[in-house]
Structure 1
Amino acid sequence: MRFTSSIGLLPVLGTAVSAWDAPSYSGYTLVWSDNFAGPSGSLPNQNNWNIISGNLGVNGELETYVADPHEVQTSGGNTVQLVPWLDGSSWTSGRIESKYTFTPQAGKKTMVEAPIRFGSNDISTKQGIWPAFWLLGDSIRHGTAWPECGELDILETIDGQLTGYGTAHCDVTPGGICNEPNGIGGSIGMPSQDWQTWRLVWDRTTGNWQTETITWYMNGQQFHQISGSRIGDQNVWNSLAASPLYFILNVAVGGNWPGYPNSQTQGGYGAMMEVGYVAHYSS
C-alpha cells in the first residue's frame, strides 16, 4: 500500500453476492480464516478486526476512514464490502486490520489468500480509487518504523485499471534493498473486475534463508517472486519472511501513486472492494 447496507448493492451489481468458506488444499492445514458471516449491513467481527477511523496522513490520500457500516459492512452473503463515498468535497472509506497475526514457520510453506472483486462502476469513473489487500509487520505496532517493519502488498490496483500489483517494501534507504519508495514489485493483468483469488506463499522448506522465497499468485498463476538472496540481508529478509504479520483490507482515495479523483470519479457500491474470506494456511 506504499504505507506512508447491501440494499444499495443489488441494483449496482445486478447479481446476489456469493457465499463461501475458505477451501481446503492438499498439503495445507487451514490455521485461521474469517468468512465475514453476519447480517447485511453490520460491521465485521470486531474480535477479528480493528476497524480504522480517521485520516492517517499517508501518501497524500484524501479519504477519512469511518468505522460505520456505510463504509465497512458485511453483505449478508459471507462477504465484506469496503465502500468509498463522496459527500460534497469530502471522501470517506473503509479500512480493517486484523487483530490476528501469524509468522511464516521455518521448514514449512505458509499460504494466505482472499477472493476479491470490485464494484461494477465503469473503469472510467474510478480515477483515484485505490483498493488493496496487504500485510504489515506487527513490529510497527510496537515502535518499529515503516518500512523496516516489512510490508507485503498481495494486491493493489489503481484507477479501475485491470492490473493487479504485488510489492515488497522493507528498507528506508531510497533505491536501496527494496528500491524504495517504489518497492520490489510485479504485476498481472486481470480478466475483469469480478472475483479473482489473490495468494501469497512463503517457502521456508530449504533450511537456508537465502533460498527461501515469497511468491505472488492470481487464480493460481504466479506473477511475482522474491528470494532471500535477492534481498541480500538476513535481518531485512526476516522482517518479510520470519516475523509476525497482520492483514489489512482498505480502499484509499487519491494519493501519490494513483493521482486524484476527477469530475467523473464516482463513489458508492460501484467503486467498492468486496472480499469473500481471508485465510491463513500452513503445510
Structure 2
Amino acid sequence: MHFLKFLLPVLPALVSAWAPPSISGYGLVWADTFSGAGATLPNENNWNIIDGKLNVNNELETYRRSTRNAQMSGGNTLQLVPWKDSSVNGGWTSGRLESKYTFTPQANKKTLAQAQIRFGSNDIATKQGIWPAFWILGDSLRHYGGWPACGELDIMETINGQLTGYGTTHCDVYPGGICNEPSGIAGRIGIPDQGWHTWTIVWDRTTGNWQTETITWFMDGQQFQQIRGSQINNWNVWSSLIYSPLFFILNVAVGGSWPGNPNGNTLDGYGAMMEVAYVATYST
C-alpha cells in the first residue's frame, strides 16, 4: 500500500487530456480542465487557494497554498492531498480551492454544474476521518451574509472512505429552520468504486413559477436528490439557492463533527486524495 501511494503522483501524467463533455441541449459556459505542468499550483486566475486553518466543524486540517496539498498532476487533473503534519495545529494539512468565478442560474433556463472526480487508491479501511467534497456556497458569504443564510449546495460529499455520496442543501437559519440545520436536507447514493464518476447538479427555472422550480442532483446521470421551491416554501430562502451568485469549492477536510477524527489506521498522501478532471457550468 505504501509503495503504491508513492507511485500515484507519476501515474496521472499518462492520462490523456480531459475535456468537459458535450451535453445535449446545453452550451458550455465556463470550465477549468486543470491543464498545466505537474507539481504546479492550480490556475490562480480561476481559484483562491486557501491558506490557513478555518476552524469549522471541529475539523483538524490546516489548508496550505502548496503543491504538496493542491497541485496539477501534469495529466490534466487536480490533486488535493491530505498529509499528516505534526508542525500544525490539528496535525494535518490539506488542500482547498474556492472559485473566483461566480454564476447565477438564469430565468427561464436550466443551469448545470458538473465535475468528474475520483478518490485515492488507499484501502477504504484506511480513510477514517477523510472528507472530500465538491460543493457550492452563496457569494453573499464573501460580502455581507452569514451561514447558512447564504445558501449551500453540497453536490458530492463522502466520508471515511465509505462508498456513499451525499447531496445536501443547507439554508435559512442555524440551528433548525427550513433546512433542519445542521443536518440540512440530504439525499444519498451508492458509489460503485473509488474510480472516476461524474457529479452533476441542475437548477431548472423553466417553469416560470418559483414554487415549481427545482434543484436536482445526479451521479453518472442517475438522480439521487431533488428539492423544489414549494418544499422550501419561502421565497427569500429559495432565492439564496437559485437566484443569487454562487461559487464552487473543492476540498479534502480531515476529521470533524461528521466523520470523526482519523484513527491509527488512517493513511495520508496521494492514496487519500481527491482528484478532479474538470469543473464546468452549462446553460440551455
TM surpasses 0.5: yes
TM-superposition CA deviations, 1:34-63 (whole Å, max 9, x none): 000000000000000000011101000000
- Could you say which residue in structure 1 is the equivalent of 2:134? 133
User: What aligned pairs does 1:1-283 form with structure 2 within 5 A after superposition?
Assistant: 8-10=6-8, 16-17=14-15, 19-88=17-86, 90-283=91-284
- Structure 2: any 5+ residue segments left out of the alignment? none
Percent identity at matched positions? 71
For the residue of structure 2 that corresponds to 1:270, the secondary structure is helix
Distance (whole Å) between structure 1 residues aligned to residue 232 and residue 249 of structure 2: 24
The alpha carbon displacement at 1:26 in A equals 1.4
CA, structure 1 residues 12+175, in 2 after alignment: closer, same or farther (shift >3 Å)?
farther
SS in 2 for 1:229: helix
Whether the 8 Å CA contact 1:128–1:260 is kept in 2: the answer is: yes
CA deviations 1:140-189 (Å, max 9, x no partner) are 00020000000000000000000000000001143320111100000000
2:224 maps to amino acid: F
1:15, distance to aligned residue in structure 2 (A):
9.2
Given residue 57 of structure 2, which amino acid in structure 1 is its aligned partner? N
1:278 counterpart SS class:
strand
Amino acid aligned to 1:42: T
8 Å CA contact 1:34–1:279 kept in 2: the answer is yes
Task: Tell me if the contact between 2:8 and 2:270 (Cα under 8 Å) persists in the aligned partners.
Answer: no
- TM-score by structure 2 length? 0.95
Count of residues paired in the alignment: 277
- Provide the rounded CA distance (Å) in 1 between the counterparts of 2:104 and 2:211: 18
CA distance in 1, matches of 2:12, 2:278: 21
Deviates more, 1:9-18 or 1:56-65: 9-18
Once superposed, what is the RMSD of the aligned Cα atoms? Answer: 1.6
Q: What is the CA distance between 1:9 and its match in structure 2?
A: 4.6
Alpha-carbon offset, residue 262 of structure 1: 0.2
Partner secondary structure for residue 238 of structure 1: helix
| Normalised TM-score (structure 1) | 0.95
Give the drift of 1:116. Answer: 0.3
- C-alpha contact (below 8 Å) 2:81/2:274 kept by paired residues: yes
Task: Please tell me the residue identity of whatever aligns with 1:269.
Answer: Y
**Counterpart-to-counterpart distance in 1, 2:272 and 2:75:** 19
User: Any conservation in 1 of the 2:9–2:270 contact (CA below 8 Å)?
Assistant: no
Q: SS in structure 1 opposite 2:97?
A: strand
Give me the whole-angstrom Cα distance separating, in 1, the residues matched to 2:48 and 2:7. 24
Runs of 5+ in structure 1 lacking a partner? 1-6
Describe the superposition over 1:228-247 as per-residue Cα deviations: whole angstroms up to 9, x where unpaired. Answer: 00000011001001100000
